[in-house]
């Protein structure tokens, strides 16, 4: 129910607001959820791991007690200390840039977003640490100004304490807004609780966002830009109960993952499909794969062109075929190479060297390749490298898609050696392998098509099968967005090493 002094946000018109300034609270206002715990839990787990998440869980009841019996500020201080104390500031910024935008953008309140997105100048006032929310608000939600709680740091590490004037609640929000905008009052103020009233009273119009848990979040097509790249291990936004389940499950899940990996690595490939099903890993095969190449006839092997979801794609391709298919990779960890049940060959990123290597491997038999060069979690396909199309006309597109309920089996920021373990730590992970028709002769380079035409055609075919969208993004784009580098792996002496467009 709206406060007597302020009407509901549903009564706020959103037309003709291009020159207006809107100031909005975050939790419970711009976002549907009123609790900031899930986002603190994401930072705790992604930076500090399971022990930091457990520490946050243990202090959460203390935070709740202080929140309701002392003050909102006291409760938030406890969450900030439990989450940030001792963390590198650069690690917090990395998670805020690569992990949190996905979860924040999936919880936008439709009425608040309607008003917020209609205004020409947008400001967010929040009790949350600014370092945690600013990247999402400015990069993905087009906010012009973010005023949040400032955390203290010492020699590049957060102390867990907050800078003056303290947590931005109540009058602190109003003072921060005054300092930022001066004497000119913003046109619209949006809030959801009584501690927002002081800053809302400074605005020409104030509107309350009433709690409606059943309201549906804003869909991704209404965002200023889509979130194509995101990182982090957790699939779901962790409520306190989910966070507790994660802490309890990880020891059990790790043992289960070791058992599943051992079955995939040690058993003959024809038995792996059945072993996976017995261990709770679902492998769904669609389409008709081609028969094995007859080596005695001197025929070239088939090159399976796969969409890239995790580094396990070639393994599940082999599982679906019932025979091991070697795979060429750009970079995998030494641990992943050791436990892999199939032969993996590293590409050098030198075009001539890689072409010669792939041709040699095709003479020996079938081969798997992921031309995107890196994984993408969202329903998009990255740009396909065209080198493969120049090397053979025996091309079979394979649409790969997986399902994970607790952990992502990929990372851009963490240790890639744990990728297969995290995938198999899911209670019941699944892979769907769809074999598409072999590329017709008239659509290959042998019939006069350019390698780029062939690569783009296969990208469109796979995207159409999966109902994904084609993009022109590359490996470098992904790593610049998530890790602040171009994804190049420095080679050790003993190891070899446009954008969105319609389909």
State pLDDT tens for residues 174-226.
999 999 988 889 999 999 999 999 999 999 999 999 988 789 999 988 999 88
Q: Is 498 domain-assigned?
A: no
Confidence at 486, pLDDT banded by 50, 70, 90: low
Query: What whole-number distance in Å separates Cα of residue 281 and Cα of residue 427?
Result: 8
Q: Are residues 189 and 256 in the same domain?
A: no
For tokens 């059943």, the residue is 214
Instruction: Give the tokens for residue 315.
Output: 């393994």
- The enclosing domain of 448 has a CATH number of 3.40.1130
Residue 296 pLDDT exceeds 70: no
Q: Judge whether 119 lies within some domain.
A: yes
Q: Give the residues across from 368 on adjacent strands.
A: 304, 327
- Tell me the pLDDT of the chain averaged across its residues: 91
Confidence of residue 490 (pLDDT cuts 50, 70, 90): very low
Q: Give the pLDDT of residue 124.
A: 97
201 in the same domain as 266 = no
Let me know whether 155 and 75 are in one domain. Answer: yes
**Residue 442 pLDDT grade (very low, low, confident, very high; cuts 50, 70, 90):** very high
Q: Give the model's confidence band at 297: pLDDT under 50 very low, under 70 low, under 90 confident, else very high.
A: low
Give dist(CA 58, CA 443) in Å, integer: 61
Asked whether residue 503 is domain-assigned, the answer is no
Boundary residue ending a domain (214, 230, 261): 214
My answer on whether 193 and 303 are in the same domain is no
pLDDT of residue 497: 31
Q: What residues form DSSP beta bridges with 162?
A: 151
Tell me the two tokens of residue 222: 């209404």
233 belongs to a structural domain: no
Give SS3 for 321: helix
Domain span at residue 81? 9-214
Which band of pLDDT confidence, cut at 50, 70 and 90, is reported for residue 298? low
Question: How long, in residues, is the chain?
Answer: 503
Residue 269 sits in the same domain as residue 206:
no
Q: pLDDT per residue over 23-53, tens digit each?
A: 999 999 999 999 999 999 999 999 999 999 9
- 271 and 195 assigned to the same domain: no
**Interval 5-29: pLDDT, tens:** 899 999 999 999 999 999 999 999 9
Main-chain phi, psi angles of 494, to 5 degrees: -95, 0
185 lies in the same domain as 276: no
Are both 181 and 261 inside the same structural domain? no
Based on the fold, state whether residues 322 and 452 are members of the same structural domain.
Answer: yes
- Report how many domains make up the chain: 2
For residue 151, the domain's CATH number is 3.40.50.1000
Q: What whole-number distance in Å separates Cα of residue 385 and Cα of residue 354?
A: 12
The pLDDT value recorded for residue 492 is 41
Would the pLDDT of 495 be above 80? Answer: no
Residue 76 lies in a domain: yes
Q: Which range has the worst mean pLDDT, 124-133, 268-277, 335-344, 443-452? A: 335-344
Query: In whole angstroms, what is the distance from residue 398 CA to residue 70 CA?
Result: 58
- 221 belongs to a structural domain: no
Please check whether residue 502 lies inside any domain of the structure.
no
Banded pLDDT at 503 (limits 50, 70, 90): very low
Q: Give dist(CA 451, CA 24) in Å, integer.
A: 50
Which pLDDT band, with edges at 50, 70 and 90, does 106 fall under? very high
- Judged by average pLDDT, the poorest of 95-109, 320-334, 450-464 is 320-334
Q: pLDDT (tens digit, 9 = 90+) per residue, 354-407?
A: 889 999 999 889 999 999 989 999 999 999 999 999 999 999 999 999 999 999
Question: What is the arithmetic mean of pLDDT over 442-456?
Answer: 93
Rg (CA), the chain: 26
Q: Are residues 88 and 146 both part of a single domain?
A: yes
Q: Is residue 1 part of a domain?
A: no
Both 180 and 325 in a single domain?
A: no
For residue 487, what pLDDT is reported? 52
401 and 297 inside one domain: yes
With CA atoms as reference, report the closest residue to 207 among 9, 26, 5, 34.
9
More confident residue, 494 or 380: 380
Share of the chain above pLDDT 70, in %: 94
């Amino acid at each position: 129910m709206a406060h007597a002094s302020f009407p509901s946000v549903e009564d706020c018109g959103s037309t003709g607001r291009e020159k207006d300034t809107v100031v909005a609270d975050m939790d419970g206002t711009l976002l549907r959820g009123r609790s900031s715990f899930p986002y603190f839990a994401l930072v705790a787990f992604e930076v500090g791991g399971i022990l930091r998440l457990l520490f946050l869980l243990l202090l959460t009841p203390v935070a709740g007690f202080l929140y309701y019996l002392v003050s909102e500020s006291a409760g938030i201080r406890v969450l900030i200390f439990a989450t940030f104390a001792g963390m590198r500031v650069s690690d917090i910024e990395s998670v805020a840039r690569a992990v949190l935008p996905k979860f924040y953008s999936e919880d936008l309140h439709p009425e608040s977003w309607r008003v917020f997105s209609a205004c020409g100048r947008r400001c967010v006032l929040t009790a949350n640490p600014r370092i945690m929310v600013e990247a999402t608000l400015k990069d993905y939600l087009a906010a012009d100004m973010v005023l949040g709680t400032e955390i203290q740091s010492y020699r590049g590490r957060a102390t867990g304490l907050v800078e003056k004037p303290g947590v931005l609640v109540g009058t602190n929000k109003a003072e921060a807004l005054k300092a930022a905008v001066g004497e000119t009052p913003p046109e619209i103020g949006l809030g959801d609780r009584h501690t927002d009233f002081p800053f809302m009273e400074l605005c020409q119009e104030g509107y309350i966002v009433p709690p409606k848990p059943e309201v549906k979040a804003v869909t991704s097509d209404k965002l200023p830009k889509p979130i194509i790249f995101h990182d982090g291990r957790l699939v779901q936004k962790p409520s306190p109960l989910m966070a507790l389940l994660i802490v309890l499950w990880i020891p059990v899940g790790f043992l289960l993952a070791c058992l599943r990996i051992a079955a995939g690595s040690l058993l003959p490939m024809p038995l792996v499909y059945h072993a996976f099903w017995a261990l709770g890993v679902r492998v769904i095969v669609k389409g008709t794969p081609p028969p094995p190449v007859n080596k005695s006839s001197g025929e070239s092997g088939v090159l399976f062109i796969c969409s890239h979801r995790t580094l396990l794609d070639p393994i599940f391709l082999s599982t679906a075929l019932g025979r091991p298919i070697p795979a060429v990779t750009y970079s995998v960890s030494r641990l992943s190479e050791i436990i892999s049940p199939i032969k993996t060959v590293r590409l050098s990123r030198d075009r001539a060297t890689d072409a010669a290597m792939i041709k040699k491997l095709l003479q020996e038999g079938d081969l798997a390749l992921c031309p995107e060069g890196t994984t993408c979690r969202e329903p998009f396909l990255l740009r396909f490298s065209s080198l493969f199309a120049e090397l053979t006309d025996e091309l079979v597109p394979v649409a790969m898609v997986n399902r994970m309920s607790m952990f992502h089996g990929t990372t851009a920021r963490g240790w890639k050696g744990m990728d297969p373990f995290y995938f198999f730590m899911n209670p019941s992970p699944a892979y769907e392998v769809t074999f598409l028709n072999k590329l017709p002769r008239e659509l290959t380079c042998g019939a006069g098509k350019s390698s780029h035409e062939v690569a783009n055609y296969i990208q469109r075919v796979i995207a159409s099968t999966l109902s994904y969208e084609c993009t022109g993004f590359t490996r470098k784009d992904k790593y610049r967005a998530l890790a602040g580098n171009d994804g190049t792996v420095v080679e050790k002496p003993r190891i070899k090493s446009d954008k969105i467009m319609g389909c």
